[in-house]
Amino acid sequence: MDALPIPSLSLSRSHSRAKSPALHPLDKRQYALGIGLLLLVVVLWTSANFVTQVRPCVRGRTSLRDLTITYLNTSSFSLYLVPFLVRRLWRRDRAGLDKVPPPSAALPPLTVRETIHLSSIFCFFWFVANWSGNAALGFTSVASATILSSMSGFFTLGVGRLFGVETLTLAKIGAVVTSFGGVLLVSLSDSHQSQPATALPTAFDAPPASTPHAGQRLLGDSLALLSAFFYALYVTLLKVRIRSEARIDMQLFFGFVGLFNVLACWPIGVLLHLTGVERFALPSSRRAVVALLINMAITLSSDYIYVLAMLKTTPLVVTIGLSLTMPLAVVGDVLLGNTVHLQVVVGALLLLASFVVVGVEDSKEPPPARALADVEARARGRRYSRVRGEEEEAEAEADDIARADRAGGT
């Protein structure tokens, strides 16, 4: 894994104190487009939750379905390699017509080799974050898993600040805390109103399990926190390494993420099955198969759009924005005639308010990609000036020596 650039603390402090310049109109349009893409992802994910429940709502060690769902969803990304290969064959016949990026670009596009390398790293973080999040529901309550997973906002802000893609402000800290409070209200209200872990039907027709003991709950809570932390890592990694969607072929990137998942992650399932940790079991009904296919299709499109939204905005914006699935679910419940309690409404409003605060706060700052590019450009300029100055001094000394030699010879 290549070293990730970490700006110096002094540079970060001076940047945070300085007044942020206004966004260029193009930057504003890109930011607004990123917000629109993020809202589309929220709609897709919420719709998927209403259409089908792929994850069986049972607690305990149920089968390999947590790993199976994660494996199948991520493997579906390999389908993106098909259009890439078609384009590659087409360009081979029209090689002379390909556009070559200007060599003076501050952020040159990633090569195919660099993209594949980034895909291999991202596949690991992505798989761990998604699998641990799904597996947590098998050992702890849905409320606990949801609340602890929402810690990703704190992790994203901290990791993003460390790598220079997020600035630490009171408004952002307050928004993250408010978002966490909203998740807390909604999750606790749901857990008190019903017992979703045993009452809801499962697409896999799995039998209900006994209530997890303290050790299982601790494991489930740890998996939920692990999911939140790895989410923060991979979303920040992408922002640091890619910075702008114009630098990378997203279809190639996601295609190799799926391919690496197909080739590298299946032994994990075999190991868990042989050790009895999670027994593999095929879906036992047609409804389960349809649910899996729908979930794969939604994942194939929504995760692609989600990464584009992150690159056009910031990791913290998309992290807080994904919590909007809860307010949208409340709207869906109202439209379906379901009872919605005041605590849930208050929590949903807090989530909406936190997203608005983060969005407005980030819109006042220069785009991270441009800011990082400016830092690199200034660094290159300083290095060039220093080297050029040394060369001029060396040339002056050589001229002095040559004149002294000529004077001595005469």
Residue 237 above 70 pLDDT?
A: yes
Q: How many other C-beta atoms lie within 10 A of the C-beta of residue 152?
A: 31
User: What domain range includes position 389?
Assistant: 372-410
In a domain, 63, yes or no: yes
pLDDT mean over 340-349: 87
- CA nearest to 161, candidates 293, 34, 12, 269: 12
Residues 327, 397, single domain; the answer is no
In a domain, 13, yes or no: no
In a domain, 253, yes or no: yes
pLDDT value for 391: 60
Residue 73 above 80 pLDDT?
A: yes
- CA nearest to 61, candidates 276, 243, 222: 276
In a domain, 348, yes or no: yes
Domain boundary among 365, 384, 401: 365
Higher-pLDDT residue of 283 and 319 is: 319
pLDDT value for 275: 80
Candidate from 83-92, 132-141, 203-212, 313-322 with smallest mean pLDDT:
203-212
pLDDT value for 332: 79
Structure tokens that stand for 172 in this block: 């952002």
pLDDT mean over 351-376: 71
pLDDT-derived band of residue 352, with 50, 70 and 90 as boundaries? very high
Residue 268 above 90 pLDDT?
A: no
DSSP 280-332: -----SHHHHHHHHHHHHHHHHHHHHHHHHHHHS-HHHHHHHGGGHHHHHHHH
Structure tokens that stand for 209 in this block: 């399990």
pLDDT mean over 300-308: 90
Residues 376, 361, single domain; the answer is no
Residues 346, 321, single domain; the answer is yes
- CA nearest to 212, candidates 160, 139, 145: 139
pLDDT-derived band of residue 119, with 50, 70 and 90 as boundaries? very high
Q: Is 226 helix (H, G, I), strand (E, B) or coil?
A: helix
Domain boundary among 365, 382, 401: 365
Element (H, E) at 384: helix 368-409
Residues 214, 344, single domain; the answer is yes
Candidate from 23-37, 285-299, 390-404 with smallest mean pLDDT:
390-404
What is the distance between the alpha carbons of residues 398 and 394, in angstroms, rounded to a whole number? Answer: 6
SS3 labels along 242-281: HCCHHHCCHHHHHHHHHHHHHHHCHHHHHHHHHHCCCCCC
pLDDT-derived band of residue 45, with 50, 70 and 90 as boundaries? confident
Element (H, E) at 113: helix 112-136
The dihedral sign for the CA sequence 63, 281, 295, 257: positive
Question: Length of the chain in residues, anyone?
Answer: 410
pLDDT-derived band of residue 410, with 50, 70 and 90 as boundaries? low
pLDDT value for 198: 37
Q: How many other C-beta atoms lie within 10 A of the C-beta of residue 346?
A: 15
pLDDT value for 409: 59
User: Which amino acid appears at position 257 of this protein?
Assistant: V
Residues 73, 44, single domain; the answer is yes
DSSP 109: P
- Span 144-196, pLDDT tens digits: 888 888 889 999 999 999 988 888 899 999 999 999 999 988 888 766 654 44
Residues 327, 379, single domain; the answer is no
Residue 311 above 70 pLDDT?
A: yes
pLDDT value for 288: 75
Phi and psi based region of residue 212 (left: phi greater than 0; alpha: psi -120 to 50; beta: remaining) = beta
pLDDT-derived band of residue 381, with 50, 70 and 90 as boundaries? very low
Residue 401 above 60 pLDDT?
A: yes
Residues 297, 268, single domain; the answer is yes
Number of domains in the chain: 2
Higher-pLDDT residue of 238 and 367 is: 238
pLDDT value for 17: 39
Cα–Cα distances in angstroms (integers) from residue 61 to residues 228, 280, 282, 322, 358, in the given order: 21, 11, 15, 28, 38
Higher-pLDDT residue of 367 and 128 is: 128
User: Which amino acid appears at position 241 of this protein?
Assistant: R
Higher-pLDDT residue of 23 and 85 is: 85
Q: How high is the mean pLDDT of the chain?
A: 75
3-state DSSP helix/strand/coil % of the chain, to nearest 5: 75, 0, 25
Residues 137, 168, single domain; the answer is yes
Residues 382, 292, single domain; the answer is no
Distance of CA 246 to the CA centre of its chain: 17
Q: How far apart are the first and last CA of the chain?
A: 63
